[in-house]
């Protein structure tokens, strides 16, 4: 699955290829081979290019530098709704939702057995673990740590480490958001978080904070960088690239929804919902069958 990031160029089409042009020249990429195109700063996209992406089922996502901000997206790469249906089914069932939440906590707790734990117990264990992650990075870097304290309406009111953490987390949210919408999932249907349009984004991003955003934020503050937020975003960007977070997020989302990665989400088949059989073939006339069933009564 190919995610192509572009910035500071003009995006157009040439036959079946997507072209990106700047002062250094032009590159051509077969549009059918792309899952998603992440359009970064300085990109201009032609109507013909967007038409080609639509024909190929390629997702266009408008992002910040290296994907560290999510702004908007076009259609999903998936014409099949299998992932979305599985997500909705698991969110709607308390038992299935708890199972997914346990799985995510298990990944975050490095394989620790969480079977049988309630959500309250999981939250308590998570809180203790996250506090230890902060303390560990504080000891490692020498940056004083008191508590997580941020004010969305007054960014400058926080201390440097909390500002760096907010900037780092926002960068990670952008990349995860782009992956989620590219796969056709709903960013609002979370398993641990709920009630917010980015609940699932926060769920998935939490899987990577201990490895990426928290260490980066403490490192940047320890180095005394003047451009605190800008340096933090760039460091997170590079770390996301090094650890292949896009690929990891794709795998993790498939795993938590128990959908095989090899499944073709581009299968364009319209079915009709049926209570007993889940789905029946679309494009068929069921009038005779319905009449016979009615006569049986």
Query: What's the token pair of residue 118?
Result: 């309630």
User: What residue segments make up the domains of the chain, in order of their start?
Assistant: 3-63, 82-256
* Distance between CA atoms of residues 136 and 4, nearest Å: 36
Q: Residue 178 has what pLDDT?
A: 83
Q: Which of 11-25, 39-53, 101-115 has the lowest mean pLDDT?
A: 101-115
> Is the model's pLDDT at 71 over the cut of 90?
no
Across 40-54, 89-103, 110-124, 199-213, least confident range: 110-124
Annotated binding residues for Mn(2+): 126, 193, 206
Overall average pLDDT of the 141-149 stretch: 89
Contacts of 232 (CB under 8 A, 6+ apart): 164, 167, 168, 171, 216, 217, 220
From the DSSP assignment, how many helices (H) and strands (E) are in the chain? 10, 10
Q: What is the pLDDT of residue 267?
A: 58
Closest to 35 in 3D by CA, of 76, 61, 1, 63: 1
Whether residue 237 is predicted with pLDDT greater than 90 in this model: the reply is: no
In the chain, % helix, strand, coil (3-state, to 5) comes to 50, 15, 35
The residue with greater pLDDT, 226 or 206, is 206
Instruction: Identify any residues that bridge with 12 across adjacent strands, giving them in sequence order.
Output: 19
**Global confidence as pTM:** 0.72
CB 116 within 8 Å of CB 217: no
Structure tokens at 269: 């088949």
Q: How far apart are the first and last CA of the chain?
A: 51
Distance CA 197, CA 90 (A): 17
Residue range 166-183: average pLDDT?
Answer: 88
Q: Please state the rounded mean pLDDT for residues 90-99.
A: 94
Calpha distance 18→30 (Å, rounded): 6
Distance CA 171, CA 168 (A): 5
User: ∠ CA(1), CA(254), CA(186), 5° rounding?
Assistant: 95
Say which residue the tokens 């960068």 belong to: 171
* Residue 116, SS3 per DSSP: coil
Q: Is the dihedral of CA 261, 262, 266, 268 positive or negative?
A: negative
Which residues contact residue 183 at a Cβ distance below 8 angstroms, ignoring those fewer than 6 apart? 76, 77, 78, 83, 250, 253, 265
Q: Average of pLDDT values for 38-64? A: 86
What is the Cα–Cα distance from 122 to 102, expressed in whole angstroms?
Answer: 8
What is the structure's pLDDT at 108? 84
Among 77-81, 113-117, 195-199, the minimum mean pLDDT is found in 77-81
pLDDT number for residue 1: 46
Mean pLDDT of 25-34: 86
- Specify the 3-state DSSP secondary structure of 194: coil
> Greater confidence, 282 or 212?
212
Q: Per-residue pLDDT for 221 more than 50?
A: yes
As a whole number of angstroms, the distance between CA 7 and CA 65 comes to 8
Q: Which residues are annotated as a binding site?
A: 126, 193, 206
Q: For all residues of the chain together, what is the average pLDDT? A: 84
Token duo for residue 12: 């157009």
**Distances from the Cα of 130 to the Cαs of 127, 148, 187, 249, 274, in angstroms?**
5, 10, 23, 20, 45
Class of the 3-63 domain?
Answer: alpha beta
- CATH label, 82-256, candidates 3.30.43.10, 1.10.3720.10, 1.20.120.920, 1.20.1740.10: 1.20.120.920
Over residues 251-262, mean pLDDT = 89
């Amino acid at each position: 699955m190919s995610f192509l990031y572009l910035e500071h160029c003009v995006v157009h089409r040439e036959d079946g290829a997507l072209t990106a042009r700047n002062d250094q020249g032009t590159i051509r990429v077969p549009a059918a081979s792309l899952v998603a195109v992440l359009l970064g700063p300085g990109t201009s996209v032609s109507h013909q290019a967007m038409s080609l992406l639509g024909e190929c089922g390629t997702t266009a996502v408008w992002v910040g530098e290296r994907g560290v901000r999510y702004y908007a997206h076009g259609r999903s790469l998936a014409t099949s709704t299998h992932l979305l249906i599985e997500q909705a089914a698991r969110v709607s069932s308390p038992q299935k939702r708890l199972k997914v939440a346990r799985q995510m906590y298990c990944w975050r707790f490095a394989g620790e057995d969480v079977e049988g734990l309630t959500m309250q117990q999981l939250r308590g264990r998570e809180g203790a673990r996250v506090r230890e992650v902060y303390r560990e990075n504080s000891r490692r870097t020498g940056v004083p740590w008191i508590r997580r304290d941020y004010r969305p309406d007054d960014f400058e009111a926080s201390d440097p480490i909390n500002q760096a953490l907010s900037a780092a987390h926002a960068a990670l949210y952008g990349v995860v958001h782009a992956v989620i919408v590219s796969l056709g999932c709903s960013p609002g249907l979370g398993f641990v978080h709920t009630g917010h349009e980015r609940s699932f984004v926060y769920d998935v991003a939490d899987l990577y904070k201990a490895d990426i955003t928290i260490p980066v934020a403490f490192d940047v503050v320890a180095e005394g960088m003047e451009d605190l937020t800008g340096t933090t975003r760039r460091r997170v960007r590079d770390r996301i690239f090094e650890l292949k977070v896009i690929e990891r997020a794709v795998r993790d989302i498939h795993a938590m929804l128990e959908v095989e990665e090899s499944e073709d989400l581009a299968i364009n088949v319209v079915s009709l919902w049926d209570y007993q059989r889940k789905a029946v073939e679309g494009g068929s006339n069921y009038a005779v069958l319905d009449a016979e069933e009615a006569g049986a009564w």
